[in-house]
Structure 1
């Protein structure tokens, strides 16, 4: 079978939409194929992995026979995806969603025929454990209900599919449902109930619907050793899911398309937050390449302290302090213990061991190999991380949320960690896999950590060794200006040992270390524009040709870097440049408002893990900066 689909081309990332129950995040293509799904958590082994290979690696395609998509959208203020299909004989609407909940993981697919007659077909291929375990499938009847379903089991995992019955591809047959005709091609060797003892490689079925008729399928994950779950009631689940998302997003006012884009980005950040633990994943995917066909492919289904902290800042700026508190509690649990054990990233519940390995049997997105699970960067030291966390927690205090019993103690411990590692080289914000260096961005973030400690004592009356922190802060400033700024080039540099520039330097004003319009910063921006900005106006993180990252190949421009440039333009008086660049970047989101990590302007394609929290929080900050700069300018002119 694999040889027959070897020529399969990867679906462009912009064709995918995200679903979320704040536990996992499947991707469904415009053509109705769910090509990526991990149950029950974002970082669980996949059950559908066609995204990283081909259909034989697992998917669930639901679509009208000979149909075409005429529109798709999220229902307003939700992650409920509505796709409208048209055929020569009728029109159907497919609604895909995951009901949020703590006790069960369900994926609901509802089909409604709104005109004429339409035949809906399924192609379901369940592949547990990253395609390393094909399931045994059998028919089941749920005790005390009239629900018939298919139970697929492999090792510790089980999936129950409830709804009009699908059938093994090799053994299709006729078995009418009450009120609905099921049409199948008969197999000469098939039998109506012949699921027992068979390893199912593919389940299919075709279901005719007429105007006013509908059909629902619910796929429910559960541990294989547990009793069969009761699948979600589709109608009730749709109502509850709508209410959940609308209630959360109701505090954001939407007046125009720009506001709508900000709202969607805020909702993406919420969708990537695990509802039970508070851990925020960088993305729901792994190994989507930074260069098509390349090897820079990483697993982003974990919680980076930096990414989460920046996400929290964006949420606080829009009055979502509840999510910030949830994350602060996660942080207290994850970082608990010996200070020497502080990591840059953790599992969703605070797991510390994230061993990196390669799945050689998967072909990779656009042939990009290796496909990786786990992330070896968890063992790196990155000097900026504590500063990012301290800035986020300071923003939470500034928003009026008092410190909890342990949260200020945690921050003092983090500052002790900074002090203990004051002279330690690191691998930088971009997780270089070359030699450790003194990255200027990281050193400035250490300065910011101590600066926030001083602020907390002096401005908010918290207890701590402010004099010692002030001394360390001042020492770092002097060091950075002496070793991290090149007077001849009038620019901050990437590291103390080179004269390269790095897009992360655009974050220096955000910490308060230097003003946006300081001549030193403007000189740095000029060099970044010269060295890192490509012809379409997008920024690379750094020059990969320098060899500092220790990796082969190159990468496309990173969206968050260009969003940082928008912010810099806006706050340094270049409002027209900021507005034009933001408008350009806004056009790179797909039709349902999602950004990947990168964008290739040559092929006009999204690249890297998708959707990416970093990109969405960068968009929010950039949009906020342009809005504020325009308001400030208008106020000065009045």
Structure 2
């Protein structure tokens, strides 16, 4: 059973796949050659599922950081005899001036050990376990490294120190002295590599330095936000970039599968796929945090992944990172799960749900990124028009909603609201989409949706917009009513909804639940933590409504749960404050970026009115 706290993990990415490194220098999670591929290391989900640690052999204390303006991790080990630094990165392609980060990657985890002072005895423990721990590969010593063969994968470890092989693992010890540097690396061996290639120290050093330079070039070219919490916003932008799949333009919701929404519970899902909703919101957030040149790639990816809407004129809600449609869910019974949270799942059964909100998020992103996508081709244009048309046709239908309930479909307020957004933004984009002939019809349907939301979505008894039509249940997604511009931010119903959620849908720390999960109201058993995206939504809604002081307090409460290297999970345990859920979570970093930007805009407006 894995007991590593989620907050002890740090992300490395080459924009193809992702790894998670623990505070004590262990690669606890790594999937090759793409985010949703089978893992090579998965000790995060089971002690026997593989890892690769490089750490001091004597007691040590640890501090960590990302090298400035990069996603390259630096871990400093301080011992009684000296100090050593471990630098970790998934190698990107060469620096091209920051334009196409992640092109031509070698699928290699590079690890540099440097002595800063004195001498530090170190130990290496290398245990590759491909296919989620099912395979114990055959390890063999090679000149300058170790090869691993088994199943569909071959791996090559480059090591400057000799390792002994025992029971499918490789071990070694060495001492790093002040001023000394050693480079390790592990990569996938392809059929073209005959024999499997071990990298030399000079090549590994150059490629790691090139990866640092590539991230810094990208950050310098793309990141210009200068409002409050600038460092957090820029870092979150890099995290979102790290969760994007460069070859296709897809964006994954998180780097992991089956990190639970409650310890020991069954709300454990695979998030290594591209949700139309999450990816669209990511593109909107990157408009603030990173000037997304990849916007056109993203819309082209969706157009290719969903070349036509299905026979019901519905857009599939999620895809594989290369556009795969069938994401059928299965369990891995041989894995115990993080802190015995079972089942461990790969694939996601929500792939064939109907969720009518997705058209709104998609067209909202297109409207925000209009300048970046001004040169879209006719295929993308037709696709976006079809999305607006489908929102107009399907808005009256029940669905599973933004939270993907596994119970009966409902008339979710958020889903209807986002259909309104789809038409509202479609009207705004009509010129770009060459859809002026549709605007009158879209306006009429937009007005119908508005009337229904005000009539059926507002609950006078509760004093708030509620989860679904006719419901008394609060839902944090109602905070999107002012954020989307559906109602003016000073509308009494908006202010009352914000206050109701702040008072009745929060824990003792002021963090926000999505909704109450008692009695399996969402078709699932068990509890969940507070939701960081919703906590940032509260800050954003407060800022939009002019309550900047309260907005800052709400932002600071949520942002305080970032770990020591600035990463956020999906949820927070309301009792212990521990991070829960898949990690790092794009939704949470999206929320941080948008809330910071809203507070910045509100403060600029307030200053303008007093000047």
Relative to structure 1, the CA distance from residue 121 to residue 621 in structure 2 (aligned partners, 3 Å threshold; closer, same or farther) is same
Which residue in the other structure is 2:11 paired with?
18
Which residue in the other structure is 2:208 paired with?
238
Whether the aligned pair in 2 keeps the contact of 1:440 and 1:505 (CA below 8 Å) is: yes
What is the rounded CA distance, in whole Å, between the counterparts of 1:508 and 1:157 in structure 2? Answer: 49
Which residue in the other structure is 1:491 paired with?
464
1:281 is aligned to 2:252 = yes
| Structure 1 stretch displaced more, 232-241 or 124-133 | 232-241
Q: How many residues are matched?
A: 595
Whether the aligned pair in 2 keeps the contact of 1:219 and 1:231 (CA below 8 Å) is: no
What is the rounded CA distance, in whole Å, between the counterparts of 1:523 and 1:257 in structure 2? Answer: 27
Which residue in the other structure is 1:42 paired with?
35
Relative to structure 1, the CA distance from residue 439 to residue 66 in structure 2 (aligned partners, 3 Å threshold; closer, same or farther) is same
Alignment of 1:610-629 (within 5 A): 610-629=583-602
Which residue in the other structure is 2:45 paired with?
52
**1:534 Cα shift?**
1.5
SS in 2 for 1:410: helix
1:500 is aligned to 2:496 = no
What is the rounded CA distance, in whole Å, between the counterparts of 2:469 and 2:156 in structure 1? Answer: 57
Relative to structure 1, the CA distance from residue 635 to residue 411 in structure 2 (aligned partners, 3 Å threshold; closer, same or farther) is same
Which residue in the other structure is 1:309 paired with?
280
Alignment equivalent of 1:386, drawn from 353, 356, 359: 359
Alignment of 1:254-293 (within 5 A): 258-293=229-264
| Structure 1 stretch displaced more, 27-36 or 92-101 | 92-101
Alignment equivalent of 1:100, drawn from 92, 97, 100: 92
**1:239 Cα shift?**
1.9
Alignment of 1:153-168 (within 5 A): 153-168=149-164
Which residue in the other structure is 2:180 paired with?
213
TM-score normalised per structure 2: 0.93
1:222 is aligned to 2:189 = yes
Which residue in the other structure is 1:595 paired with?
568
What is the rounded CA distance, in whole Å, between the counterparts of 1:161 and 1:53 in structure 2? Answer: 22
**Cα deviation digits, residues 600-621 of structure 1 (max 9, x gap):** 2421211111100000010001
Alignment of 1:534-549 (within 5 A): 534-545=507-518, 547-549=520-522
Relative to structure 1, the CA distance from residue 460 to residue 136 in structure 2 (aligned partners, 3 Å threshold; closer, same or farther) is closer
Structure exhibiting the larger radius of gyration computed from Cα positions: 1
What is the rounded CA distance, in whole Å, between the counterparts of 1:211 and 1:559 in structure 2? Answer: 42
| Structure 1 stretch displaced more, 14-23 or 339-348 | 339-348
Whether the aligned pair in 1 keeps the contact of 2:385 and 2:433 (CA below 8 Å) is: no
SS in 2 for 1:129: coil
Alignment of 1:557-576 (within 5 A): 557-576=530-549
Whether the aligned pair in 2 keeps the contact of 1:311 and 1:613 (CA below 8 Å) is: yes
Relative to structure 1, the CA distance from residue 510 to residue 254 in structure 2 (aligned partners, 3 Å threshold; closer, same or farther) is closer
**1:46 Cα shift?**
0.5
1:584 is aligned to 2:557 = yes
Whether the aligned pair in 1 keeps the contact of 2:396 and 2:416 (CA below 8 Å) is: no
1:347 is aligned to 2:320 = yes
1:201 is aligned to 2:168 = yes
What is the rounded CA distance, in whole Å, between the counterparts of 1:85 and 1:502 in structure 2? Answer: 45
What is the rounded CA distance, in whole Å, between the counterparts of 1:522 and 1:153 in structure 2? Answer: 61
What is the rounded CA distance, in whole Å, between the counterparts of 1:202 and 1:438 in structure 2? Answer: 54
**1:261 Cα shift?**
0.9
Relative to structure 1, the CA distance from residue 592 to residue 254 in structure 2 (aligned partners, 3 Å threshold; closer, same or farther) is farther
Whether the aligned pair in 2 keeps the contact of 1:104 and 1:222 (CA below 8 Å) is: no
Relative to structure 1, the CA distance from residue 166 to residue 38 in structure 2 (aligned partners, 3 Å threshold; closer, same or farther) is farther
| Structure 1 stretch displaced more, 383-392 or 506-515 | 506-515
**Cα deviation digits, residues 436-473 of structure 1 (max 9, x gap):** 01101100111111122222226986444112212221
**Cα deviation digits, residues 271-305 of structure 1 (max 9, x gap):** 00011111100000000010111110000000000
**Cα deviation digits, residues 119-160 of structure 1 (max 9, x gap):** 21111111110111111112234xxxxxx2211011211110
Alignment of 1:413-452 (within 5 A): 413-452=386-425
Whether the aligned pair in 2 keeps the contact of 1:316 and 1:399 (CA below 8 Å) is: no
What is the rounded CA distance, in whole Å, between the counterparts of 1:89 and 1:427 in structure 2? Answer: 58
Alignment equivalent of 1:321, drawn from 279, 289, 292: 292
Relative to structure 1, the CA distance from residue 94 to residue 497 in structure 2 (aligned partners, 3 Å threshold; closer, same or farther) is same
**1:259 Cα shift?**
1.1
| Structure 1 stretch displaced more, 540-549 or 418-427 | 418-427
What is the rounded CA distance, in whole Å, between the counterparts of 1:352 and 1:223 in structure 2? Answer: 27
**Cα deviation digits, residues 58-96 of structure 1 (max 9, x gap):** 101100111413422111001111111122222211111
Relative to structure 1, the CA distance from residue 160 to residue 626 in structure 2 (aligned partners, 3 Å threshold; closer, same or farther) is same
What is the rounded CA distance, in whole Å, between the counterparts of 2:500 and 2:224 in structure 1? Answer: 38
Relative to structure 1, the CA distance from residue 158 to residue 459 in structure 2 (aligned partners, 3 Å threshold; closer, same or farther) is closer
**Cα deviation digits, residues 235-284 of structure 1 (max 9, x gap):** 11122111111111114358798211111101000000011111100000
**Cα deviation digits, residues 312-343 of structure 1 (max 9, x gap):** 01111345130222211211111113444621
Which residue in the other structure is 1:514 paired with?
487
What is the rounded CA distance, in whole Å, between the counterparts of 2:602 and 2:458 in structure 1? Answer: 28
Which residue in the other structure is 1:81 paired with?
73
